[in-house]
């Protein structure tokens, strides 16, 4: 795992912790039983997981681009 992937993973964990805490709080408030809104919530969690993965991929690309740019700037100064 390269340094970009490690930094993106740290960023991903930060987002995931916040989102998980929010889901946990929401889940605790509707713990009384299963209804249609719970099913929609479960599907939303799956969609959110996919979106977070895509954000991870974007962040890896951003970090690689920033590093390449700084290398080029230092090389040609």
Nearest-5° angle of CA 47, CA 37, CA 21? 60
Question: Are the C-beta atoms of residues 52 and 12 closer than 8 Å to each other?
Answer: yes
Each residue's pLDDT tens digit, 47-75: 899 999 999 999 999 999 999 999 888 88
Contact 56, 8 (CB under 8 A): yes
Run of H or E residues at 28: helix 3-29
Q: Where do the domains of the chain lie?
A: 3-75
Residue 36 pLDDT:
58
Could you tell me the pTM of the whole model? 0.51
Residue 13 clears pLDDT 80, i.e. is over it: yes
Has residue 32 got a pLDDT over 70?
A: no
Do 56 and 10 touch, CB atoms closer than 8 A?
no
């Amino acid at each position: 795992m390269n340094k970009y992937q490690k930094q993106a993973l740290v960023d991903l964990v930060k987002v995931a912790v916040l989102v998980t805490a929010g889901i946990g709080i929401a889940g605790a408030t509707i713990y009384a039983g299963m209804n249609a809104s719970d099913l929609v919530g479960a599907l939303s969690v799956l969609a959110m997981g996919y979106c977070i993965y895509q954000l991870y991929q974007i962040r890896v690309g951003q970090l690689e681009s920033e590093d390449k740019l700084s290398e080029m700037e230092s090389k040609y100064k």
